[in-house]
Amino acid sequence: MTKKLSHKRVTPLTRFYYGAPYYPEHWDAATREQDVQRMVDAGFNVVRMAEFAWDYLEPEEGTFRFDIFDETIARLGASGIATILCTPTPTPPRWLTFAHPDVLRVNADGVVMQHGSRQHVCHTSETFRAYSRAITREMADHYAENPHVVGWQTDNELNCHFSECHCDHCQAAFREFLRAKYEGDIDALNVAWGNAFWALTYRNFDEILTPKSAKPAYANPAHLLDYDRFISWNVTRFQHEQVEILRAANPRWFITHNGIFRHIDYRGSFTEDLDFLGYDIYPFFDPDPQHRPASQSFNLDHARAWSGNFMVPEQQSGPGGQGNYFHDTPEPDEMRRMAYTSIARGADSLMFFRWRTCRFGAEEYWCGIFDHDNVPRRRYKEVQQLGEELKTIGPEVLGTHVRVDVGIAAADMDVYDAHETLSMGLPSPYAVAATVHEFFLNQGYAVGCVHPSDDLSDLKVYIIPHWALINPDWMPHLEAYVENGGLLIIGARTGTKDWNNNVVADPLPGMLQKLAGVRILEYGRQNAPDKRPLGIQYHRASAVLPTEHWYEQLQIMPKTMTIARWEGRHLSRQTAITIRQQGEGTVIYVGTYLSGSILAPLLPLLEELTGLAPLWPDAPAGVHVVVRENEEKRLWFAFNDTDSFSVLQPPVEGTDLITGKPSPKKLYLMRHRVAVIKETLVEAEEQGSEGAEEQGSEGAEEQGSEGAEEQRSKGAEERGSEGAEEQGSERAEERGNESVEEVRQAEVEEKESEGPEA
């Protein structure tokens, strides 16, 4: 790791790697015979191998064999295809678990996991860690001088299926973790956990056990959160031991890991140990084909929020099936379109899972590029097409980052895990972030996910969607963002708990009171919104927008204005949404859960205050646009995610990287089709007096501001709101042409007619 983790961080890769995970140990020589030539014909320059091959590599303790991998690496290398190797520790051989049953995990019910699947061993076990170091060292030393091995993946999808363990090793390690965290002060732990409740007080650290929720009743949220932090610390330690061995063997190797899963802090030491993060993306886990492009886009943006651009070690290529499910089969061009979506949203390398569908085992219906019969069909032809295109596009994306104008707070393990400990049946911060992301995506904005500690300076709008935990260390960062001109939107319940996962003593929203300029007088769960309906109204003449999940009655502080009020039951005409100017920027507080219908009427105000505009204003609904850029160029990706034929006019002149020709005046995109246009930026010293026209026009003409009045009056039809009549008309008619001054005037009139605020 050489740079601070950031959503804008690029990988150090100098080559776009394109290939597939490959399992030569699964196939005989005859089946493998044509593989290398077919990979060459597909444009591959890399494969990934050995993550599940420990039993082959070490068939007996201390006896190692590398023959099939040596041969495969040599054959591939001779044809220009490099290899990424994996430490094979997710699947230890049976001789290990048979000789050392104490390495097996124990679940919360006390059941010992057994050999016959994967991830069944405990990362705390000193015995297992010793074997992990041994196989890693043996592989690293064997391949240290092999010119065809370019990098490593640690383990495989750590914490994918199972993250907890309650064995004796973990009990002891958890106590040591707590002893170190609280510096040996058991009284400090008792206070931090609130152990006065239910007589939970501990006399010393040796009395503490790993928490088991619902055994017999609800566990302490603070205890649970510290246990989740222990899981992350423990798996980070486990990986670090492998990384140290690999770095010592060959410092030139890059090292990655393929996440992203629960109870791992990917913004901490786990990722700082790596050169970049890997992310396995399987869009077809979303069963709705119409929603799938939005969920894939969010998941990729969320992955990038942890540490920046990434590698995709596993990109879905065919249907996947295990247990009681079997995914859709990708339609023609869909596999290619999904791959381009990954590249547009931060992938600096990509591998399709897998090369050939296995004929046996738990993933025998997890289909790859080739079906079970090894016959090349349309998925292989699609892979060939993409491989040819990536010869041009691959090098172009390296060194660029994804443009984000609207940032959504995401990618914090503590926030996510704290919600799980006591969710009250409310949507998770992750789920609400996905909802908000989809709304802005469908409006055509450059939306992404950004952690609060990251660089916020380029964001026009930043949204924190209901983060109960707020780290005090983030506050100066958020305050500076607003003071310097940013627009911050804070969702209900944010800042209501401290970093120990206890409710704060201050009036809510806790440490955000001053920045938001509000206090919460009353809050409540909307358990039956159909029977006790509540809604929000921006103006008396506007529609009442139904809310769900949560309400907050707000008290405004000086210099804070009400911009929307509650309608319904005892809350009628009470403050629901506020706005406050702070320095050069603005803070909006929303006293309910965020949704598209609640956010849509705010869009004209966001544009007025920040200059926010869609990336490609003329793009039809369902055509999603992403920009990757650096100081020298912009790469415009357009995706037809609809079932209809789409025609659109590019907002810039440049080069069509798929055809290699100048970009046409009109693009014609069939279903699942993609366009990639390169816009070369004029060097600063050559701009001179043209800067205002050539560079400024990027915001006005090329990026689609089109003039504030014309843009805001477009309404929902052209910006993809949730319904032209329900939301678009609110934007265009009720709020669409209002200036900030008019908002203030409307507030004054409402105050005069209704008397003083609560």
Question: Known catalytic residue: 709?
Answer: no
> What are the distances in angstroms from CA 483 to CA 24, 478, 720?
58, 9, 31
Query: Of 51, 58, 164, 314, which residue is the catalytic one?
Result: 314
E-state strands within 118-175: 149-153
Alpha-carbon distance of 686 to 222, in angstroms, equals 58
Token pair, residue 704, equals: 């689609």
The C-alpha angle 356, 78, 257, rounded to 5 degrees, equals 55
Alpha-carbon distance of 298 to 290, in angstroms, equals 14
Residues 6+ apart with CB under 8 A from 671: 331, 333, 640, 642, 643, 644, 645
Count other C-beta atoms under 10 Å from residue 76's C-beta.
25
Edge-to-edge strands, sheet with 149-153: 254-256, 149-153, 82-86, 46-49, 18-21, 347-353, 310-316, 278-279, 258-259
Alpha-carbon distance of 166 to 151, in angstroms, equals 34
Alpha-carbon distance of 335 to 317, in angstroms, equals 6
- In 250-357, alpha helices (H): 269-272, 292-307, 334-344
Query: Of 51, 157, 438, 567, which residue is the catalytic one?
Result: 157
Alpha-carbon distance of 662 to 125, in angstroms, equals 60
Pairing of strands 254-256, 646-648: unpaired
Pick from 635, 642, 649, 651: which is nearest to 670 by CA?
Answer: 642
Token pair, residue 626, equals: 């992403």
DSSP result, 703-729:
SS---HHHHHTTHHHHHT-S-IIIIIH
SS3 call for 642: coil
Count other C-beta atoms under 10 Å from residue 283's C-beta.
24
Question: Known catalytic residue: 679?
Answer: no
Q: What are phi and psi of 89, to 5 degrees?
A: -75, -10
Tokens 């995109």 sit on residue: 669
Residues designated as active site: 157, 314
